């Protein structure tokens, strides 16, 4: 397969990941997603303080190939937005799990994490 999947993160079927530290979730898109999108040219700015439910559109991302929505993997409030990727979206192509993170969400309901996939499940899901 050749796509990088990081242990210790949670994954969605729409190819978002979330890293949980306390009650804060850092959100981004997976290596698979950035590869399928191709060269990313635009990321819509996310409003800080925005309340969001799991599965709702967090933002829109555009590449030379397509535009697609990025969905919130969890419900909560956007407390931080990665201004670097707004300015230079191609960072997501280079480092989707590191510098390419998109937003941080204050987690409202940690129970929702049970609906998400762990690294191994996501790898298997993407192999199918």
> Rounded to two decimals, what is the model's pTM?
0.96
Q: How many angstroms separate the CA atoms of 125 and 102, rounded?
A: 23
- Domains of the chain by residue range: 10-123
Residue listed under structure tokens 């931080």: 80
Per-residue pLDDT of 8-42, as tens digits, reads 999 999 999 999 999 999 999 999 999 999 999 99
Was domain 10-123 assigned CATH 2.10.10.90?
no
Per-residue pLDDT of 63-111, as tens digits, reads 999 999 999 999 999 999 999 999 999 999 999 999 999 999 999 999 9
Q: Which DSSP helix (H) or strand (E) runs through 125?
A: helix 119-127
Per-residue pLDDT of 48-66, as tens digits, reads 999 999 999 999 999 999 9
Q: How many angstroms separate the CA atoms of 58 and 99, rounded?
A: 18
């Amino acid at each position: 397969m050749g796509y990088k999947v990081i242990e210790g993160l949670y994954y969605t079927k729409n190819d978002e990941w979330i890293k949980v530290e306390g009650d804060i979730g850092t959100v981004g898109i997976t290596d698979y997603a950035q590869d399928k999108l191709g060269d990313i040219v635009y990321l819509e700015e996310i409003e800080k303080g925005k309340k969001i439910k799991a599965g709702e559109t967090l933002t829109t991302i555009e590449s030379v190939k397509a535009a697609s929505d990025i969905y919130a993997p969890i419900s909560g409030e956007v407390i931080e937005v990665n201004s670097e990727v707004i300015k230079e979206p191609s960072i997501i192509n280079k480092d989707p799990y590191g510098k390419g993170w998109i937003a941080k969400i204050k987690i409202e309901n940690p129970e929702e994490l049970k609906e998400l996939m762990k690294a191994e499940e996501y790898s298997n899901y993407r192999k199918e």
